[in-house]
Structure 1
Amino acid sequence: MRIIIDSGHGGKDPGASGFGMQEKDLNLIYARLLAVKLENYNMDVDTSLLNDNYYSPEELTNRIKKSGATLCISCHNNAFNGTARGFEVIHSIHTEGTVAKLILEETRKTDFPVRRVFSRASTSPSRAGEDYYYIIRDTYPEVETIIVEFGFMDNREDFKLLTNPVWQDKLTAAVAAGVNKYIYSDINGKTKIQGNSILHPNQLKAALRAVNGGANTGVVDIYYDIAPIYEIKADLAFLQSIHETNWLRFTGVVKPEQNNFAGLGATGPNNTGLWFSTVEAGVEAHIQHLYAYAATASIPVGRTLYDKRFHLVQRGSAPTWEDLNGRWAVPGTGYGERIVELQKIVLEKYPIEVSDLPEIPPSTHWAKICHDELRDAGLLLNDHTDTLDQPATKGVVFCLVNNLRKELMNDE
């Protein structure tokens, strides 16, 4: 899932203002920090709109629609009359605002004042039934756009927090956590088909060997190679194949040589279902069938459609495993729940080894972007990357201010 971030306003459009600061400058800080936070969740983030450029409404919305993103987050800061304060998220009138609500819930945990999640319909008779805010209205339905108002910059209390690097870090982390929960976590007690796996491949291999010692555990790796292309949870997809094939024993009507790991098209002894020439093709057909239920987009570019039953599925009709009840299997009562329960059993019975864990790269410091830009501009003479959290000496401050003074004199 690609996410594009818009740093609201820019160029000749400064946005709101408060206590001598323009909104476009504050927005850019938040947008850049948010991009880093989302990338730390291994999300595909488009940062092409993180700049101080002016875009007309048509140009901006066209760029968003052409980005290939599914979600757009437009970063803003509010202003009213100095009395209002708090965090808000605005979503389309055509959506339930699930991602907006999750973001607000995560922000509430920071103890920053929150106001509301809301949508607003256009008041123009010519736009009846459409959204009020053009960036939401003119990108729908290609892209789901939300506007995040981090706070009221003309409110003294909010402004003090909004310009504090600690709170900037907290608030952007909360937004990223809300988005991550929207994409990858369970909602309303159900388990999404798309998202990140919980189990490590070695846990599944250990479980498979314990039940069926002669099984080819390499199938697990194939699931983990292909499922992420479709944003399908590889662990649950493989566990579904375990459920359908009796731990790859193929004791039902489907036989091993069919490479049909999900019983696609199998209805009985007289119809054993689809055949696939390779294990990889069979696994991808299984993943594609799950994708047909979970998503509405076309299959990823460059992939071959192996699932001959793909077009028989009502697209997007089952975004969770529990929604597959009565769809994948008839009557299917408890079908999805059993697969999710298998995940819990494997997680508890085959704990992950420390050696299985990948090395986690260090996250980017929130101030590194500003540090690097100051160095590129020649305003900061030395590299301070290793000391970004340490207080600046008077000498560093004097040099930075003096360089700014000289730059301002050159501009004159």
Structure 2
Amino acid sequence: MKIIIDSGHGGKDPGAVAFGMTEKYLNLIFAELLATQLENLNIDVDRSLINDIYYTPKELTDLIKDSGASICISCHNNAFNGTVRGFEVIHSIHTKDTLAKSIFEEVKKTNFIVRRVFSRRSTVAPGSDQDYYYIIRLTHPHVETIIVEFGFMDNAEDFKMLTDSVWQQRLTAAVATGISQYISSNIVTKTSILGTSILTPPQLKSALKAVNHSIDPGIVDIYYTISSVYGIKADLAFIQSIHETNWLRFTGVVQPEQNNFSGLGATGPNNPGLSFPTVAAGVEAHIQHLFAYATILPLPAGRILYDKRFNLVQRGSAPSWEDLNGKWAVPGIGYGEKFVAMQNTILKTYPDKLPDTPPITEKPPIPQPPVHWAKSCHDALTEAGLLSNDHTDTLDESASKGVLFCLVNSLRKELMKNE
């Protein structure tokens, strides 16, 4: 699991200012230390946003979403009126507070003053179902973003501890431990997009025909043939196609003649997405789009790029089917999990077994004709060179004078050789 660290503020945006210190510089210290602490725990960290650069809200959140990270920790330091103290963690209104509380409880063990874990709903409109903080609002559901407020830098007691290198190490170690424990307790075995299929073509064809009686199931074989070139699991790719097309009945905006089996580019009634010249081209475009998400490898040699959206994908950002949630489909909660569940259902419903075969019975031996009594003499004379032609089929016929004269003459010559 990758984590991206944001140092908060930067450039022309200094953040809070207290006791001659600007927040952006204090945030940089905490962000760098946190990244190191996480790396010491063997956690993959993206440090690209630990800098003194100003980003617009869209620029910043696009960078976070495009990073391929699952979690973003935005490092900040608070300010109010100089009287408030304490560590805070802010999470999305749409997520549980599990990660935030894991961090909070570890910081509490350091004896640093802790204040609260909370989320805040947008105040733009009454009843709004959006987060107040833009970095959380604009990255959900792609990335779980947490804002960590290490303390109130305008409070003299907090400021003294926040600028102490020992406390900086202690606080960032606690935050890293909380994140690590959250990751360990929430590790879910994911299903790789690359690999070998579990289901066989006959199993998928049976499942398809059970729902769509009129369909030609030959498309299943095309999926298996093309998927093998790219190393994609053909069974799950085909299951995704029947999910996107309602079992190839095309009841949505995409039409059958488009040969678009995965809804590539389809965004609504006025945009039904891409079209492909043949069924095979449409299947290959689907497989190529999965390949773009699953790996950073180049296309297999000699293949035509049918997927016009291939280069819009951040390569390797979704190596598992579950990672497609919020990427292939938005918000996409449980999107990839559906295909794995359907795979298991088909496996149980249509077990892969060989057709019953009748028992093998021994066939009676074919009767052979009896060997002629003169056959051995015929073969011996032939081997000795006394007969120049094969007479097997005429052993019971009378010999002509010519044949007899030739045989006697051959015998005469053999006798003369031995004198």
- State the TM-score, normalized to the length of structure 2: 0.49
The higher radius of gyration belongs to: 2
- State the TM-score, normalized to the length of structure 1: 0.50
